Structure 1
């Protein structure tokens, strides 16, 4: 595939004090965006598009590898610690197409011996039939989008699977050889009661996933729900669901390690942990974002062309834009991720990942501690329980 290789110009933040060279580059991950779905859900604000009867698999795989080729100069000599196929619905793609893509990626960037490769999948029967083939490719983790097991709630969310298919999907994943899989579950759904929410959570726990993403439905701009809001539970009910759900998860051995992520011992999602600890990631595919650190201290965020038709157009560039983060932006950028972790991060990681002295956080840190939003712990950067609940307020302390 011939593609225009011209990239959008790098946006600079103006003159700034040079940062220290980074002594060690962070782990490197790869995010691959496959933007098609059978149907767009009314709550979804991701870059997803309703699929036609025939997906352009071969053309899109060629584009993804060509896109990756243009990022290789920035990651020479490094290896991939994780890969995440997100969407959209990546499980709409055949195993043959994903196998071709994975072989192409590995020919360009070496894989770590213990690489984690995650594929987002829907629980529908059509996708379940592919699980065995996906596992044979080396994909070793699934993230299955359940959202709810109750038919009324699934219909309200615009989901195309039913509760029985959701239950079977977990069994099929295990039978296919996936000993590590996540179930994606939402709460705070239209007209949901506390009993409804806990029933969903108990059913998910009974399926014994290694990881649960359990998060509240929010109404996002540019979605159907934003323009036509459904009747959501009252705040008191939402609070009761949150408290009772967290207690239930803890009772069954799922430790909360991030705002909406719960895992069995040793099973946090390594790919997402890399995001939250300000690691590096290449993003390829329509609308994908990336973040790469350079030995000289530069840290650059990139974003790719969003519309699939433009991404597949040889006359257009894959890259829609790039921005070098400034010294003033880095504290917020680092903490926006790190403070989502319930235990925070080792304070030394700040200098290691940003090239800035830890003292650059002193003013905001002092204000956050005095407000009860941040733990008074010199060796760690961590939010208090209250800070986790009011994370936006906490982060405001570090805006320049």
Structure 2
């Protein structure tokens, strides 16, 4: 693939990712760029740095509106209402938002307070993503979570009462010492809380985490397969549709921000360690950016927040595209590959034909789509594109 040439790139939709790096405690399974709090968060200074960071990236907007905003971390809900108001005001003063812009904030159930979250909504947050992970006390302790099951249930119930567009509950399965019955019980309790969106994904042991260095006892492959199979059926029976490998939603409540990621859209990333992906048609290239990763150097960066900006190599574009797009359950237009990557569909025609023969994709004259088999063996499906 080294000799492939770009044709004409098209500008995709644009999103904004905002990273807030602080947590009360660092969870032993987490490999995100997060830092345990040591004293008070320097809110005013950090919010001003975020806005300066966004202003420094304005050239990457290229006339587009921001279609979605995702405030992640860390634990963004540790911020005060005043800090979130200042952040949202600064964003709106700097870039144009679409009329239906989805604005998500990640929240820890242990930080949910009624007055505070009503204030976040008034500031412009219209979607919450609540990191529950489990409703079993023993599992929460093993995962190093600071909330208890009752706090998580109350957080979900409170989200139901807020004037939000939607909210998500994050749950994990394949947890230490988890059995089939406890894994399915967790999911049944999650369904009973009636979130419009449910992220349900398997715990993985990521490098550079305590769990990786000292692995806990995880369920057997047989138990994992049964949890996956029976859990999927429980979700479907409850009216949820699987639209991505680990994401389920009631019809019309899919996460627009993540859909932009998975359809190889663009996003500006601001904040400590935030990643971005930008298409530049005039230069016929796609670039990725990473911001300064630690809070103290980031705050001292003074308008030079970029740690690294690199062009995605032409022969890496097929893998980059499919690593995202193949996560989705919906059909993908063949033409989308061309205007998202600037490469001819001929480049990946042999790959698509091979996957169709193996039953991991359905393929016709205009679309391709992952099958259930393909989703279950996602890493193996896209592996040939990284050679």
What band does the TM-score fall into relative to the shorter chain?
over 0.9
Number of the residue aligned with 1:138: 124
In 2: Cα distance, 1:381 partner to 1:33 partner: 34
Number of the residue aligned with 2:81: 95
Q: Report if the CA contact (8 A) 1:253-1:264 is conserved.
A: yes
In 2: Cα distance, 1:352 partner to 1:315 partner: 36
Alignment deviations for residues 189-228 of structure 1 (CA, whole Å, 9 cap, x no partner): 1111111111111111111100000001111111111111
Cα deviation for residue 370 of structure 1 reads 2.7
Q: Report if the CA contact (8 A) 1:180-1:210 is conserved.
A: yes
Q: Report if the CA contact (8 A) 1:92-1:127 is conserved.
A: no
Return closer, same or farther for 1:222/1:321 CA change in 2, 3 Å cut-off: same
Q: How does 1:1-400 map to 2 (within 5 A)?
A: 18-22=5-9, 24-124=10-110, 126-296=112-282, 297-314=284-301, 317-400=304-387
In 1: Cα distance, 2:113 partner to 2:295 partner: 22
Larger displacement relative to structure 2 (166-175 or 281-290): 166-175
The structure richer in helix per residue is: 2
Alignment deviations for residues 145-185 of structure 1 (CA, whole Å, 9 cap, x no partner): 00011101110100010000000001111223224100000
Alignment deviations for residues 45-70 of structure 1 (CA, whole Å, 9 cap, x no partner): 10000012210101111111111111
Q: Report if the CA contact (8 A) 1:281-1:292 is conserved.
A: yes
SS in 2 for 1:41: coil
Aligned length: 386
In 2: Cα distance, 1:102 partner to 1:307 partner: 23
CA RMSD of aligned residues (A): 1.7
In 1: Cα distance, 2:308 partner to 2:222 partner: 42
Q: Which runs of 5+ in 2 are unaligned?
A: none
SS in 1 for 2:201: strand
Cα deviation for residue 389 of structure 1 reads 1.4
